Structure formats: C-alpha cells, structure tokens
Amino acid sequence: MAADGGPPPDRPADRQPRYRVTAVERMTRIPASTLRSWEHRYGWPRPSRAASGQRLYSEWDVAVIRFLDRRRIEGMSVSQAVGLLRSAPQVEDDDPARLLARLVAAVRDFDEAAADSVLAAAEALGVEAVAANLVPAAMAAAATPGPDGTPVEVEHFASNVLRRHVLRLLDGLPPAIGRPLLVGCGPDEQHELGALLVTLLLRSRGHRVVYLGARVPGPAMERAATALAPAGVVVSLTMPESLERAVAWTRDSPWWSRKPPTAWWGGPAVAHDPALAARLPGELLARGVDHGAAAVDATITRRR
C-alpha cells in the first residue's frame, strides 16, 4: 500500500483494489463471513485495506474467490484448492506468456497434472483471460506441425484437457435468465472447443446460453430455434467440409427463407474461406472467440 492508502503506481490493473465486500458478495454470491473465514484460515483471498481498515478487493481477488468456490462445489476442500493456487510459482501468475509456455510444454509431454496446475494458476487471472487468450493460444501451439508433421496425438490430448477445464469454468458460473442464445457446432463438425469458449465468454457476460454441442444436424438446429425463439444462433465451423455442409443446409432449407433468428457463423473454416462463408445468412465472425463473443454481446445489448 502507498502512504495515502492507495495502491502503488506499478501495481497491475487487475490487482488494483476497487470492490467493497458488499459488492464482492453480489458478484460471487459468497457471504462476507465466509470470505473473512477463508482469509483468516487459508490466507486467501488477500484484499487490501483502505485507510479506514475496510477491505478492498481487486479483480484478481474476485477471480481467486470464484476459483476457490468452484473447487469447493466440485467436492474439493478449500485447503486443497488453496494448495492448487500455491503450487504454481507466484512470479508466473501475472505472466500470460510464461503460463502459456508451461501449458504447452505440459500437453506436449502428456502431463495432465502439470497442465492442471498451470490452468489453476491461470484461472486466478479471470475467465476472460483464460477463454480469450490462454486456451486458444495453447490449442494453436499444440496443433502446430513439427518436423514430422502435425502431432495429432498431442492435439487430441490438449483438446481433451482444455475442454474439461472450460466445462469446469462453465459449471462455476451462476445461472443466467432471459431470452436465450443458441450455440452449437455445424453439421458433422466434431471440434467443439471454439463453440465452448464462445459459450463461456457469453455466459461470463450474463447471457443465457443453450449449448447444443458438436455435430448438430441442420434440422435439429432449426427445431431448437423454433422451440426456444432465441435472441440469436451462433454456429461454429472448424473443418472446411462443415462449412460446405452449412452452406448447402442454409441454401436448401425453406426455414432460412422465412424469418429465422439472427445468425452468427464463426470458426477457422469461416476465416479460411470467406468467399464461401459469405453465402451463409447472417454475420461472419472471423477474428477469434473473443471478437465473436464481443460482437454477439454488442448486438444483443443494442436491442435491449
């Protein structure tokens, strides 16, 4: 703390104390008494103190609280969850590049425990940082061809480890209410990590998302949209053949010629073949999951 009770000028933005305990209670749904108990018994979270002695929590503190609560819900004791936080060197908690390097090394070595340790440390930085930056970068690095070609086994292992972590983050978010957004993968599209990341980012921004998963046939997507009357439909397309099938589906189905909900189409296939993707009805999301989630969020927010 600085002499006037404020943070030192070189403190990272996510460590700036800004939330009183009542605000943290609303954000996390965890009582102030529980937060004080965790602080006294386990040393986490670590709020700053104002000149008046009042606790002030940073974005990082809130992320730590959510991490501890998610592990508790999963059946882990708080002391065990704190142990996960302490297992990663503190110098790396604020360094995304080092965290990414450790995570990529772990998945290339098929070291699930090491990958979980890195993801636990990264989770304290917040859902947005993990979903928008760390997971996509780790997946891209794992899929990068080496001297002997693409390491398919490493890519599959990384995908499974990262998918499990994203699902865990989703389970820790509070339920949302309101008109839903429908998210799923295109016809015969089995790569669902991108769709899961968009779902996580939208859920973290308070949207109610109905996630349909991988390989959603066109008629199934239409039936779900008809039943739910969603605010929009987000479809993930990773493989070129999935893009081709989606174009054929939207061209041949009379459902799309009526008044379908707003549609967004994203994923590597859209980015790699924008000319073909332009035949799809709706908006194209070709700049990554963070841009895609932000674009969907902005459109829905403008309508409210």
Domain that holds residue 150: 88-171
Q: How confident is the model at residue 73 (pLDDT cuts 50, 70, 90)?
A: confident
pLDDT in tens, 96-147: 778 888 898 899 889 998 898 888 878 767 788 889 889 999 998 887 765 5
- The more confident residue out of 128 and 236 is 236
Which of the listed residues 171, 200, 221 is the one where a domain comes to its end? Answer: 171
Measured CA to CA, the distance from residue 244 to residue 263 in angstroms comes to 17
Q: Which of 171, 197, 226 lies at the terminal end of a domain, its last residue? A: 171
Looking at residue 6, its pLDDT comes to 34
Query: To the nearest whole percent, how much of the chain has pLDDT over 70?
Result: 90
Give a yes or no: residue 76 inside a domain.
Answer: no
Q: How confident is the model at residue 238 (pLDDT cuts 50, 70, 90)?
A: very high
Q: 287 in a domain, yes or no?
A: yes
Lowest average pLDDT, out of 8-22, 72-86, 157-171, 199-213, goes to 8-22
Query: How confident is the model over 50-66, as pLDDT tens digits?
Result: 888 899 998 778 878 88
| pLDDT over threshold 90, residue 183 | yes
For 78-102, what is the mean pLDDT? 72
Task: Indicate whether 243 pLDDT > 80.
Answer: yes
Cis status of the peptide bond prior to 7, with omega within 30 of 0: no
Global pTM value = 0.72
Q: What share of the chain is helix, strand, coil (3-state, %, to 5)?
A: 60, 10, 35
34 and 61 fall within a common domain: yes
93 and 151 assigned to the same domain: yes
Mean pLDDT of 220-234: 96
Residues 208, 180: contact at Cβ < 8 Å?
yes
- What CATH number is associated with residue 204? 3.40.50.280
Same domain, 186 and 158: no
Looking at residue 13, its pLDDT comes to 53
State the virtual CA torsion across 139, 140, 145, 149 in degrees, nearest 10.
Answer: 40
Q: Per the structure, how many domains does the chain have?
A: 3
Indicate if 237 and 290 belong to the same structural domain: yes
Over the Cα atoms of the chain, what is R_g?
21
What CATH number does the domain containing 55 carry?
1.10.1660.10
